[in-house]
Amino acid sequence: MVRAAPALLASAGFARAFTLTVFAAVFGSTAIRGVSGDVTLATIVFGLCILGVGVLIVRRREIELVRLAPTTLVLLLAWAGASVLWSADPLSSLGGWAELVAVSFLAVVIGHVRDALQTVRALGDVLRWLLGTSLTLEILSGILLDLPIPFLGIQGDIASLGPVQGLFGTRNVLGFVTVIALITFLVEYRTQSVRAGTAIASVVLAGSLAVLSGSPTVVAVAVTTGAATLALALVRRLSAPRRPLAQLILGIGVIAAVAAGYGMRDAIVALVDARADFSLRTDLWSRLLTYVAYRPVEGFGWFGTWSPDSFPFASLNFALGEQHTSALDAYLDVLLQLGWVGLLLFLTLGALALARGWLVATERRSTVHAWGPLTLVALLTFSLFESFTLSGAGLLLLVVCAVRAGQSRSWRESLGLRMPPAPAPHEGPGVQGPPTAAG
């Protein structure tokens, strides 16, 4: 039994099961917490981390330590860990840092044991199940029983066409998950990795829940991701000599669009009918920035999700008369907790991952390479409205995309440190992405 353990941990079947379990546990964390509590969720994540360590150990000859994780991610984790020293509540801060490290580690393991298509397939399977279950529970709650399901956060409003929350706690998170699901399902369809009927049904399911979520933020995320998809498709059609100029023009256009969007933010908010929601956010952000001025460089210490009894979160909520669990903006949340040093590291992590993933997607023919940059566009856009990217599923996706992008394009390439890739096991029809060293 003991002798068989290394062979099991190194097998492709175990890698697939591990990836499915990680995605299911992290994306379903709100439901797990509602049913069984924080201790159960923490135990599941800890157990998966132990298994992840075992997987990396048995695959140690296939993985180079210098290529294990992006440098910016390591620096961000180190700075967040150091911030425990100046936190007003070191114990809670240490718990938040442990969650940050655990989820990031699970994402690193997935990035080294699954190739691009295998990752998309695993995520697609999990999201189909979670979204299907969400719709079933919403129908049960809002139509068949006409009763809310409080421990899952389901209000039972589907009969009045929403908003619905599903298994994800809030309509905004459900809306964002549906955008990620749509990207994933369409990539599956284009790579022919699932049957056409399955792909179409999956897209209809995700699209229906996106509408029923009634989330104002999902409109901005969907429009931004759609524009990025169109731009990526146009660049991919250009000949190689013409791509650098097109990329430069596109980059300038993105900067101009961001500036214009910021200048017209009030009009955009009115257009999506989210003024009351936006007013709540701006009140929070304005108050938060007054606290940032006291510790602009180092921040108040990393907590991730706000600890309601810890400073400065308790003070912020008391002043606003609210019970916020985040800054409702990932960038401002990082600024508050880790200061300008942490924000620069976070922005660098996201920007490098997006740039590397984008270049890979424009140079390689398989559609599967578009999943990473489009997911990052959705994540970075959603981060303007929620702090979802700093923990749980958002963090998992960010690090998976960063690891995959770093494997394809990295400063380490110039050092000649990359090992020859081992072939990844074929798991079904479709176009496989280039296997990693741990494939």
Q: At what angle do helices 90-113 and 38-58 cross, to 10 degrees?
A: 40
CB under 8 Å, gap of 24 or more: what pairs does 159-163 form?
Answer: 161/212, 161/214, 162/211, 162/212, 162/213, 162/214, 163/212, 163/213, 163/214, 163/215
Average pLDDT per consecutive 10 residues, the chain (439 residues; last block may be shorter): 74 93 96 92 95 92 81 95 93 94 96 92 96 95 89 89 89 93 94 91 95 87 89 83 80 74 59 60 87 93 91 90 89 95 95 91 86 94 90 95 80 50 43 38
pLDDT at 232: 87
Query: For the residues of 24-39, what is the DSSP string, one character each?
Result: HHHHTHHHHHHHH-HH
C-alpha–C-alpha distance, residues 217 and 214, integer Å: 9
C-alpha–C-alpha distance, residues 38 and 29, integer Å: 9
Smallest CA-to-CA distance from 83 within 241, 262, 301, 272 is with: 301
Query: For the residues of 58-82, what is the DSSP string, one character each?
Result: HTTTT--GGGSS-HHHHHHHHHHHH
C-alpha–C-alpha distance, residues 287 and 122, integer Å: 41
Q: What is the C-alpha R_g of the chain? A: 21
pLDDT at 60: 85
Q: Rounded to two decimals, what is the model's pTM?
A: 0.89
